[in-house]
Every structure is written in structure tokens, then in C-alpha cells.
Structure 1
Amino acid sequence: MKLHILGCYGPVSGNDGPTSSYLMEVNNKKILMDIGSGSLVNLQKVCRIEDIDMIILSHLHSDHINDLFVLRYYLKLIDKKIPLYAPNSPSSEFDRFKDKECFDVKVLEDDMEVELNDIKISFLSTQHPVDTFMTKIEYDNKIFVYSGDSIVNDNLKTFIKGVDFALLDGAFLSSQKLNRNTHMSSYEAAKTAKEIKVKKLMITHLAPFIDRKEYLFDAKKGSDEEILLALPMLKVEI
């Protein structure tokens, strides 16, 4: 497995990269997870748009889907249809792409499983203000999970327990978290990953106006394990 960080910021782009978007290359397939603002720029540095085999949207907030509506123009030009897996709410967002001729839309459900060229892909809901699904990719005895946007909850702990690599939301610092039930802090992401024996953690959905050193310092309060911070155009072998 090869993970490309196309964009890792939220809720706005940084001056050095897009909002959330991640490309997984596995067994000659390319799986695009989220397609945030500006992410098509970095995607085309890694592969051709027409080589994408599947798109997964964790949820339908704008910082995770904005470039989808630009992508469809190109797909129409080349007459290509890509499988697209997404929640069907909020309906106002889902209705913008559900019937488009350039996407073969599949609605995400709990415990849904998809097979792609011997790759197992499964989904489980997590807690966020809108319907949100985590993605698990399994191939050749390696397991990767992307949390999407999430707070700490039982589904999250069950889904990422013991995985080889977890890409987790850690948008807040502990000092900012207060009673917000939208994202984990970097401390919570690190603490949770350590408790349930995740082998490698990368924290993402970083605010571009917060110093990366602050994120890492906060995360280290929750775990003494190695912690990675997402960075645009970073490539990781899993």
C-alpha cells in the first residue's frame, strides 16, 4: 500500500496545500478518499485523473468534497464514469451529484463491504454533525483505516483497533477542544491510538493557522509512540 497525502488541512486550505484528500495506491488500483478544495492540483502530480478507480467521500462537508464538482467537468470531456461511494445526507449536497452521468453513485451503509481486485474495503459510521463513514482498506495482510472527521466513540475504537496504519482526525489542540463534539484533538487521537494498539498513527485535518509543533506537542501528551503529522504531497508506504 502506498498512501499519498494530497491535502490535509481543514476547514480551509493552507498556503501550501488543499483541504482533506488522500490517494491510496494498492495492487495496481487507485482509491481516492475525499476530494477537498484544491486537491485536484496535487492529484495530477501523482497520477492521471482517468486512472482513478474509486472515489470515497467520508462525509459531505465542503472541505472534503469541493473539487468533486470540478472533477465532473473533466470526466464528461473524457466520457468516463467513476464509482463514487458517499453518504446520502445532507440531501442538499448529495442531490448535487447523485444523478450525474460521470459518477456511479453508491450510498454508504454500516458494515458495507466492497471487493476491488483482491482489495477488501469496508465502512463503518462514526460521530460527526453529519453522516460520516470511516474507511478500512485491507490487502496482503496490511490494514489501513481513515477516520474521516470524528470524535472518540466506540465505533472508532472498534474499527481501528490494532490496524497497521490509522489516518485520524486531530483538528483541535486540547486547549481548544472544550465541549466541541465535531473533531478529536491531536491529544485524543494519539491517546486513543495508543490504547487500542494502532501500529502507526498519522494525524490529519490540521488547521493551517496552528503551528505544526503545537499539534505534535499536544499529541505527545497522549502517547509516547511515534506520531506522524500529515503534510501535502507526503508519501507513505504501509
Structure 2
Amino acid sequence: MKTLHRLLLWLILVPVALIVLVQLYFFLQIGWWVHHDPESTSFMRHQLSVMQEKNPNAKLKQKWVPYNRISKNLKRAIIASEDANFSDHEGIDWSALEKAYEKNLKKGRVVAGGSTITQQLAKNLFLSGDRSYLRKGQEVVITYMLEFWMDKERIYEIYLNVVEWGVGVYGAEAASRHYYGVSAAQLDAVQAARLAVMLPNPRYYDTHRGSAYLARRTDLILRRMSSAALP
């Protein structure tokens, strides 16, 4: 009986210890990134491996640029399009999640996500693109870790430098060069709004740049940009 109890205890303690160690790794890694720029993300490494299955010589396009060398037009456009309350919430915008849930329920399918910029960064840095409650729970934990360690400007700076913007295209600088042949600092309002609208499905819009929806949504974001609060 004692042997059975010990076995059950180990079966409980070992998974718990592993979970704690993983969370500690995430926590310390985020602390390191407060003053050091991430060289890559989990999402970038996964997409590179997918690309290299077809072309072993494939490489990602990405160049880190500091926050003050990214156009305010782009910063405002993304907040207007992706996370209007970014400067105010603590990582999770519960009201946006509730609205997204109601919208999805009404449509009978997933048409809105409600994820904040911090949540998107959490997913890109550490997680896969798989959808499950377990992965979503881990995303929430990492989101609060990011908000604990970093101010909003640092969170946004990292996001702007690692977010996907097309097939193998990551970060504002690479996206600006890829689509417009200019630096991230030189983006005008229309270019910025268009890049912001591409974010939910960048690989699709990379190859469907004439999309009517893309044009309509760009006009909408242009009208909203002036009211977007920057960190």
C-alpha cells in the first residue's frame, strides 16, 4: 500500500514540478528581454522550418529597429485595428473578449478573437499556433508575466519587431521594405493603415494585395487612427 501511495505521489509531483519549471523559464526569459532584444520567436522558428521543408535555403526577412525609428502612423494604425485599449488594460481586455464571444455566438463561427497586443506577443514568443484551452491558458499566464516585467512601450517595441507580416516577413522594418521599399520610420498614414489591416492574416494578404476587404478596412482604420493612444 505504501508503494502505491508513493507512486501516486510521484505521479502528481513530477508533472507539477515540470509545470513550475516551465513557468519559471518563461518568467526569467521575459525578465531578460526587458533589456535584451529577442533574436527570434517560437512562431518565427516554426514558420522557418515549414519554409525550409520546401526550400532548404529559405530565410526569414527581419531587422530589429528601436521604437523611436518606427513611424507613429504604424503604431497608431495597429492600436486602432488590433487593440484600441492597449495603453489602458493590464494585458487582457475582458470587455473585448466578451464582445468577440457574443459576435462569434451570433455568427455561429469564429469571426473575432479579442486578443490584445500583449496576448499576441505572448503567443508569438513562446507558443504554437494550435488552438486549445490549455494553450490559451498558458497564453494568459505569459501575458501577465509580460505586463509584470515590461512597460507598454517595451511590449509594443518587441511586438512591432517580431510580428508576422507576410511569407517569411517579420517586423515593421522588413514589412515596410517588403511592401513599400521604405524604412519603418518613413511609412505614411495610408501605408501604415494597410499594414495594420494585414496583421490578422498576413500570408494571405501578401499574395492578395488587391483584396476589396483590405481596401475597405484600410479606409476605416485611417479614420480611427487619430484617436489611438500611444504608450
Q: TM-score range by the shorter chain?
A: under 0.3
Q: TM-score, normalised by structure 2?
A: 0.25
Q: Which is bigger in relative contact order (C-alpha 8 A, separation at least 6)?
A: 2
Q: TM-score, normalised by structure 1?
A: 0.24
Task: Find the structure with the greater CA-based Rg.
Answer: 2
Structure with the higher fraction of residues in helix conformation:
2
